[in-house]
């Protein structure tokens, strides 16, 4: 297991400064609440709402944001947990089914940007949490909008890292995907494995 895989394995939700990570619609401040709901896998309506919130704030029109690779770490962990429970838990079954589709979308986003001429990603997954890359401690919608108007919001290596490390989080799920090859999800699993 390399350094980045160890980082993904050991990272906890509360160790990520979500309030300083961008999404298509602001900041990822509410993401920990969504993960809390999802990992419980109890109320189907709440699970659907939480998963929709995370997915729609991670990818938008094939563009990924600073929160994306960190969100993907915990969606990968959620996927692993749900894959172990889907036979006896409707919410877990829904999560596996939904995440297989979403992971496929994220892999396609990576392949699209990877086929263009790119810089290298940051050396380590955790480098994206360096102070220089984080947004202000206090959320100011106007200030954030000005940041987009001022030109290059993210350096090339940071922006490419959003895609590269999101993809690595899906690759991290490969052993779980292999276990699902003879499951009710086998068609989606096969498609996703072919993309990896």
Share of the chain above pLDDT 70, in %: 98
Closest CA to 83 of 190, 181, 194: 181
pLDDT at 43: 95
pLDDT at 128: 97
Residues 18-75 pLDDT 10s: 999 999 888 999 999 999 999 999 999 999 999 999 999 999 998 999 999 999 999 9
Q: What is the mean pLDDT of the chain?
A: 93
Q: Which of 90-94, 138-142, 152-156, 157-161 has the lowest mean pLDDT?
A: 138-142
Residues 103-145 pLDDT 10s: 999 999 999 999 886 789 999 999 999 999 998 888 777 777 7
Average pLDDT, integer, range 153-179 = 95
Paired sense of beta strands 26-27 and 59-60, if any: unpaired
**Could you tell me the sign of the dihedral formed by the alpha carbons of 73, 172, 47, 41, in that order?**
negative
Structure tokens at 161: 């890292």
Domain layout of the chain by residue ranges:
3-195
Which residues, including other chains, have CB under 8 Å from residue 38's CB and lie 6 or more apart? 47, 50, 51, 54, 78, 95
**pLDDT over 70 at 151, yes or no:** no
Give the number of other CB atoms < 10 A from CB of residue 39. 17
Report pTM: 0.94
pLDDT at 15: 97
pLDDT at 153: 81
Structure tokens at 27: 């900041």
């Amino acid at each position: 297991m390399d350094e980045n895989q160890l980082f993904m394995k050991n990272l906890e939700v509360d160790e990520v400064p979500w309030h300083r990570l961008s999404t298509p619609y602001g900041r990822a401040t509410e993401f920990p609440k969504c993960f809390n709901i999802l990992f419980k896998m109890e109320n189907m309506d709440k699970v659907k709402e939480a998963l929709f919130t995370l997915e729609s704030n991670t990818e938008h029109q094939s563009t990924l944001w600073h929160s994306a690779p960190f969100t993907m770490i915990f969606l990968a962990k959620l996927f692993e947990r749900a894959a172990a429970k889907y036979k006896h838990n409707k919410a877990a079954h829904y999560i596996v089914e939904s995440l297989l589709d979403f992971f496929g979308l994220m892999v396609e986003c990576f392949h699209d940007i990877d086929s263009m001429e790119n810089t290298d990603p940051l050396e380590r997954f955790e480098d994206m949490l360096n102070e220089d890359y984080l947004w202000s401690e206090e959320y100011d919608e106007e200030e954030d909008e000005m940041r987009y108007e001022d030109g290059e919001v993210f350096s090339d290596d940071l922006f490419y890292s959003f895609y590269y490390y999101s993809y690595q989080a899906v690759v991290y799920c490969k052993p779980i995907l292999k276990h699902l090859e003879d499951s009710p999800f086998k068609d989606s699993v096969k498609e996703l494995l072919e993309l990896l």
